[in-house]
Amino acid sequence: MTGLGQKLGTLITQAAGGKLILGLLLTHIAALVLGTSLVTSATYVILAVLCVPALVKLGALPIAAHLFVFHFGIIGTLTPPVSLAAYAAAGIADTNPISTGLTTFRMAMPGFIVPYMFVIHPALIGQGTFGQIIIASATAMAGVIGLSSAMEGYFKVLLKIWERIVIGAGGIMLIYPNTIVSLIGIVLILGTFAIMTLGGRFKVQLKQ
């Protein structure tokens, strides 16, 4: 009734001031709000019409912009306080919906970072040379594992607070599409694992 939907793309373009990252953040928020009450397909169709043209105008590849809004249309069903998917899962598992929603949100945290990265570095969605795609995919997968371990506080063993912080930072750096930053992330994670190994945290059990 307010006509906001028709103006949303223009508002995002104007508010972003030509900055793609800001445009992605605003689209992200819009996707999460719509995703709390609509099914993924409806959220995607609405955002594809209203927001994708704005992202393309700001410099995103069309395929990356479409996947971005589709991804956050899915994530919207996991985001508190509504968390429709988490409520459905809680009903099946007979658990508390609020705690299930918060756990789901924590476990899905890497999913809030990766879409930004594949818009900035389209090699993550197969747009680039073979070498770029392989390197970007490998570092991103390692980064997601590291960040997920940090969020859950567990990798083979329970992680200490400082281990979670360092591994989480390393995971984010691995996801970020930059060679130097990714190398720093590798050093942080492998260095932490080396300290844990020397401290006897990892115990290798040989099969008889």
39-63 pLDDT, tens digit each = 778 888 888 888 888 888 888 899 9
Beta strands in the chain (DSSP E): 154-155, 157-158
The yes-or-no verdict on residue 183 having pLDDT over 70 is yes
Please give the pLDDT value at position 175: 87
pLDDT at 164: 92
Q: Cis ω on the peptide bond leading into residue 80 (within 30° of 0)?
A: no
> Dihedral of the CA atoms 23, 85, 44, 105 (nearest 10)?
20
pLDDT of residue 5: 60
pLDDT band at residue 108 under the 50/70/90 scheme: confident
Instruction: List, for residues 124-147, the tens digit of each pLDDT value.
Output: 888 888 888 898 889 989 999 999
Helix axes 4-16, 20-35, angle to 10 degrees: 150
The closest of 174, 171, 111, 187 to 137, measured between CA atoms, is 174
In this structure, the number of other CB atoms found within 10 A of the CB of residue 12 comes to: 24
**pLDDT category, 205, cuts 50, 70, 90?**
very low
Q: 98-108 b/e with 16+ CB inside 10 Å = b?
A: eebbebbbeeb
State mean pLDDT over 163-182: 90
Q: What is the DSSP letter of 121?
A: S
